[in-house]
Structure 1
Amino acid sequence: MEPPAVLVTSPMLAARQADWNLGYRLITGDVTPEVAEHVEVVVSGDSLSNALIDSLPRLKLVACFSTGYSGIDLAHLRRRAIALTTAAGVNAHDVADHAMALLLGWWHGLSSADRQVRSGGWRDSLPPRSSLRGRRAGVVGLGRIGRAIAQRLQSHEMPVRWWGPRDKPDVQWKRAGSLPALAEWSDILIVASRADPQNAGQIDAAVLRALGPGGVLVNVSRGFLVDEDALIGALRDGSLGGAALDVFAAEPTDATLWSDVPNILLSPHIAGFTREAGADMIAQLRENVRRYFAGEPLLTPVEDAA
């Protein structure tokens, strides 16, 4: 019997096939109609065109290596009864750690303190900072990453609230009545929402105004969740106190966008970029594909797909 055909749209996954290919017939590059008839599974990054999906009449599973899937049309998959799996959860602890690193680095002014020492200065020319203890922290999105962030915030003796579209009766933290209400309550607002196109622009000018000139925004989810123009404008005019960002509307981000923006700390989308997470993401993709061909329940299906 001929091995099952798997279409690979990611060059990285093609190069690392030894880590996940359990004897499948891998297809890369252009897909002819004859080959398309045999493809039931596509392995990909976080994007896949509807045109490619429509060219595969027997497609039943899109297995993403990434945790996000912003470039995949869930409604289109749903219409075709195609399942979607992701690397959800494998790097939640790493992303939560990085969210805290961004917050602590911004709050304690570590970038300027480092420059001060390297230039021969000392603390006498630096203003004293406010203590982080007791500051109110809001978490937008309380999935695996959001919960891990909330736990870390609590360990820093910070009161925590959260907001998301669905209530979670099993959690210990209070859910705000709305996203603007959470922003108004918070001194620090950390974005951990699901990377879903429906959430695009949820951190808009109104939310930033509610967070206010004493507030700090931290984003470790996806850049498209934040209105970047509104964010830059709020930082420049002082209506927002600061921001610490790991993700951007377009990546790599244009450095000139940020060159004169005050009160920011930036990192190049590395929150989940650890050696261990990379290996775990490959392993999770391998298991989802294996389960599909074995007729077993998928490990990490996206509920809003098929």
Structure 2
Amino acid sequence: MNNSVRPRVFVTRDMPQPAIDRLKEFAYVDLWPAFPAPEKHELLYHVSQADALLCMLSDPIDEEVMAAGKKLRVIANYAVGYDNIDVAAATRRNIAVTNTPDVLTETTADMAFTLLMAAARNLIAADRFTRDGFWIAWHPLVLLGHDVSGATLGIVGLGRIGQAVARRARGFGMRILYTSRHRNPAAEAELGVEYCSLEELLQQSDYVSLHTPLMPETHHLIGAKELQLMKPTAILINTSRGNVVDQEALTAALQDGTIGGAGLDVFKEEPISPDDPLLELSNVVVAPHIGSATIETRTKMGMMAAENIKAVLEGRRPPNLVNKDLYSSPSK
């Protein structure tokens, strides 16, 4: 089919080739070539020509972007979350918004537990210690960390990823507490997790892992008050959204020993500034938002986004629709 009559999809970052190939089967693909995200004026230009937009969680898709997309019919977010998109504005403009749920559950849970283990055992500091030539002898007091086996893990948000983290924690013989918007008796029976309030969880846990979506009620859910409730040896893990935590309060708590450490894959602003004081701290393990960064998972995410786009362009309800009011029935 001639490109001039094919629908046009603007993809804001390169992704695994199978997903690009799938898009090319039914559309002309306008792929952003640079490593950094397109700036606002560049995004507006490319969206103005697009029938579909495949964007990343770091791309702010607001009313201005949608207004530029005169032909825009679908915004496919390459993520589970979609707080970067003004969904209400999209709905008003009859633009479908889709996401990529389920496929990154296990991968993100792996990352959360990786951060937990690395922070607990001072792995990053140990790596530097060894590479920098400080390992001149074995010593009983060098790089002491804390046990994970038998410790208490508090999970904030027992959704799919939270439950996947709980399954991993069971293998370490951990006591598992959880708090969530809704109590989950089925998960309690299956995973042996114990329900409690956020305050109780913070007071009792050796490790706290955050798995709640970012919403108005979860913005800065963990702030100075909550950090004060935690044990001075406790470690906070965040693979959810950066603004679930008050980053300034966390930095202060890590600086003054209010808590023992943190493992972070997400931040209030991404990318985090190299000058951020958080990065000066030795009791923090940081990663550049790579919770879903495996070849297998990122490929599945791309394929799912492509199928969502294809469905909308063909006049069908996409499999992973966020603004469900656009379609009066599942068959639409």
Shared fold (TM-score, shorter chain, > 0.5): yes
> Equivalent residue for 2:52?
41
Residues 81-126 of structure 1, C-alpha deviation per residue, up to 9 Å, x if partnerless? 5432112222221211111111111112223333444422323342
**Which residue of 293, 298, 305 maps to 1:273?**
293
Residue 20 (structure 1) aligned with residue 23 (structure 2): yes
Q: Which moved more, 1:72-81 or 1:215-224?
A: 72-81
Q: Which moved more, 1:232-241 or 1:51-60?
A: 51-60
> Equivalent residue for 2:201?
182
> Equivalent residue for 1:135?
151
Residues 42-84 of structure 1, C-alpha deviation per residue, up to 9 Å, x if partnerless? 3222231211223446644321123332321233334445432
Which whole-Å CA distance do the structure 2 matches of 1:86 and 1:23 have between them? 20
Distance 1:162 1:20, change over 3 A: farther
Does the Cα contact within 8 Å between 2:154 and 2:178 map onto a contact in 1?
yes
Q: Report deviation, 1:296.
A: 4.2
Which whole-Å CA distance do the structure 1 matches of 2:50 and 2:145 have between them? 58
> Equivalent residue for 1:290?
310
Letter in 2 for 1:239: T
Letter in 2 for 1:12: D
Does the Cα contact within 8 Å between 1:217 and 1:243 map onto a contact in 2?
yes
Residues 149-188 of structure 1: pairs in structure 2 closer than 5 A: 149-172=165-188, 173-177=193-197, 179-188=198-207
> Equivalent residue for 1:107?
120
> Equivalent residue for 1:199?
218
Residues 18-63 of structure 1, C-alpha deviation per residue, up to 9 Å, x if partnerless? 342332245686778xx96x96533222231211223446644321
Which whole-Å CA distance do the structure 2 matches of 1:98 and 1:104 have between them? 10
Does the Cα contact within 8 Å between 1:41 and 1:59 map onto a contact in 2?
yes
Q: Which moved more, 1:109-118 or 1:268-277?
A: 109-118
Distance 1:79 1:114, change over 3 A: same
Does the Cα contact within 8 Å between 1:235 and 1:262 map onto a contact in 2?
no
Distance 1:298 1:175, change over 3 A: farther
Segments of 5+ residues of structure 1 without an aligned counterpart are: none
Q: Report deviation, 1:158.
A: 0.8
Does the Cα contact within 8 Å between 1:93 and 1:148 map onto a contact in 2?
yes
Task: Report percent identity of matched pairs.
Answer: 27
Q: Which moved more, 1:264-273 or 1:58-67?
A: 58-67
**Which residue of 82, 86, 95 maps to 1:69?**
82
Cα RMSD after superposing both structures: 3.1
Q: Report deviation, 1:142.
A: 2.2
Does the Cα contact within 8 Å between 2:122 and 2:143 map onto a contact in 1?
no
Segments of 5+ residues of structure 2 without an aligned counterpart are: 32-41, 327-332
> Equivalent residue for 1:8?
10
> Equivalent residue for 1:301?
321
Which whole-Å CA distance do the structure 2 matches of 1:23 and 1:255 have between them? 41
Distance 1:60 1:279, change over 3 A: same
Instruction: Give the total of aligned pairs.
Output: 302
Q: Which moved more, 1:64-73 or 1:190-199?
A: 190-199
